């Protein structure tokens, strides 16, 4: 699956306003998605107070007051995101990119690992559509303030087999770990 981490340069934007913008982008993306299984009503981020887990078994667990999650839960046009502050309560910064106040871990490629026959049975023509719509809508709410921080490798279904895709290093990446 393809996964990315983006940095948001939100400046002094209040957290509540940022969350409203995310939810509005999720709703607009759902309405624009052709997959009949995606609910078109208002989407909500789920606020989670922890525990948050570790990025690697030997790393320190993150120290946040809370983070936000969204998971469409749909097998074809799947969308998962995690929204968290770039700086933890203890002062540790995940990505040292200047101006990045919030980070977004994003995965909208779940359907890529499904064979075309299963996607056809699910009536899903383009499994990435929901995520692409979301990013398009989100970029309208945060113009020029979303930067790619890290892209992870993934596998995609091609000619009847899984093909490993290794991402190119982001030109404006920061904090690659």
Domain boundaries, the chain: 3-48+62-165
- Looking at every residue in the chain, the average pLDDT score rounds to 78
Q: What is the model's pLDDT at position 54? A: 65
Q: What is the model's pLDDT at position 176? A: 36
Q: Tell me: the pLDDT tens digits for 78-106?
A: 788 899 999 988 898 989 888 999 999 88
Cβ neighbours of residue 14 closer than 8 Å, sequence gap 6 or more: none
Above 60 in pLDDT, residue 107?
A: yes
Cβ neighbours of residue 103 closer than 8 Å, sequence gap 6 or more: 5, 6, 7, 8, 83, 84, 85, 86, 94, 95, 149
CA distance 118 to 156: 14
Q: What is the model's pLDDT at position 177? A: 36
Above 60 in pLDDT, residue 169?
A: no
| pTM across the whole model | 0.75
Above 90 in pLDDT, residue 55?
A: no
Above 50 in pLDDT, residue 48?
A: yes
Bond from prior residue into 131 cis (ω within 30 degrees of 0): no
């Amino acid at each position: 699956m393809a996964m990315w981490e983006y940095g948001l340069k939100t400046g002094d934007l209040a957290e509540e306003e940022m969350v409203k913008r995310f939810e509005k982008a999720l709703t607009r993306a759902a309405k624009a998605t052709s997959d009949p299984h995606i609910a078109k009503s208002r989407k909500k981020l789920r606020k989670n107070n922890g525990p948050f887990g570790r990025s690697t078994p030997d790393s320190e667990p993150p120290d946040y007051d809370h983070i936000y999650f969204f998971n469409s839960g749909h097998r074809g046009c799947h969308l998962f995101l995690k929204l968290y502050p770039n700086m933890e309560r203890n002062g540790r910064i995940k990505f040292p990119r200047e101006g990045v106040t919030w980070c977004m871990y994003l995965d909208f490629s779940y359907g890529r690992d499904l064979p075309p026959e299963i996607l056809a049975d699910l009536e899903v023509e383009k499994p990435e559509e929901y995520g692409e719509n979301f990013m398009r809508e989100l970029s309208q709410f945060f113009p020029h303030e979303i930067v790619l921080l890290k892209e992870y490798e993934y596998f995609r279904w091609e000619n009847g087999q899984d093909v490993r895709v290794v991402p190119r290093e982001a030109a404006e990446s920061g904090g690659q770990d």
